[in-house]
Amino acid sequence: MNTISNYTKSLVSLLNELIEEQATDEPARHRQRLDTLLSHYKQLCISIEETSKYCYIIIPSKFLHENILQLSKSLTNISNISVNILNLSDVRNALQNQTQVYNNLQKFSPEVNELITHGTDLIKQPLVPKYVQQDVQTIQKVYNEKIQSSQDLVEKLQHLLNIWEHFDRNKCLYQQQIEQLNNEFLQLNTNRNSISSYQHEIDNAKRLQNSYINLKSLLKEMDEFIQTISSNNLLSYENLQILKHDYENMHDDL
């Protein structure tokens, strides 16, 4: 801006000199001087135009470049959580922490959009540096990949939480029903020598059968949960074995 100001002052001075030269009584004597002044005037106009372009395009482009570099570093420092899950409580904590990561990334959205909009406007201008378009594409790519990766992990953990909670509910229900089944079976054996009626024993047998069917259904559903977790890579192999071990123990008990 100081350069333009100096050029403008020089331009005013030149114009005054041109006016004085044109006002002389013998312009032919000053033709060479006049041509020199006109040439200097034209060069100043060109310099002012070039400097103006620099101020309105190059400088904002450099500011944009620096801001995008700084933002990219900030985004790089935000990483998804390291997933190490052993139980349902771990899943809940992981989901809570990853959701916070996602929310932190979301806070950068207005700044990213503002830089992209500013960069897009600059790209439309003539003589804009090529790196402006590269900067805009870079920040779009970095942010979109970051936010998508974070969102994918949140959804994955939410899916895992839903399945694991259902698995644990079934596990508790299974334990209650297996205990009830054992009690009914024990009662049936105790009353074997004092049968009051065949109908009573038939009813007991039906209850045992229904309890067994319900338990088999629970185990089948829990097996489906494990298959879903495995096929969607919701848990590491080691952690998946923990659930499989619980399932196999229940299956063996039945």
pTM beyond 0.75: the answer is: no
SS3 letters for 89-102? HHHHHHHHHHHHHH
Band (9; pLDDT cuts 50, 70, 90): low
Look at residue 205 in the predicted model and tell me its pLDDT. Answer: 60
Average pLDDT over residues 115-144: 91
- Collect all residues with Cβ–Cβ distance below 8 Å to 72 and sequence separation of at least 6: 138, 139, 142
27-83: per-residue pLDDT in tens? Answer: 565 566 656 666 776 777 777 777 777 777 888 899 999 999 999 999 989 888 887
Coil vs helix vs strand at 167: helix
Provide the terminal-to-terminal Cα distance of the chain, rounded to the nearest Å.
86
- Collect all residues with Cβ–Cβ distance below 8 Å to 8 and sequence separation of at least 6: 48
Beta strands in the chain (DSSP E): none
- Collect all residues with Cβ–Cβ distance below 8 Å to 34 and sequence separation of at least 6: 18, 21, 22, 27
Highest mean pLDDT among 113-117, 199-203, 208-212: 113-117
Backbone angles phi, psi at 85, to 5 degrees: -115, 130
148-170: per-residue pLDDT in tens? Answer: 999 988 988 888 888 888 777 77
- Separation CA 75–CA 143 (nearest Å): 7
The neighbour count for residue 179, using CB atoms within 10 Å, is 10
- On average, the pLDDT of the chain sits at 76
68 closest CA partner among 153, 129, 150, 3: 129
What one-character DSSP code corresponds to residue 83?
P
- Options 1.10.8, 1.25.40, 2.40.128, 1.20.58; CATH for 158-253 is 1.20.58
Q: In the chain, what are the domain boundaries?
A: 1-58, 158-253
Average pLDDT over residues 185-213: 60
The neighbour count for residue 40, using CB atoms within 10 Å, is 15
Highest mean pLDDT among 123-132, 191-200, 206-215: 123-132
Whose tokens are 């003539």? That residue is 126
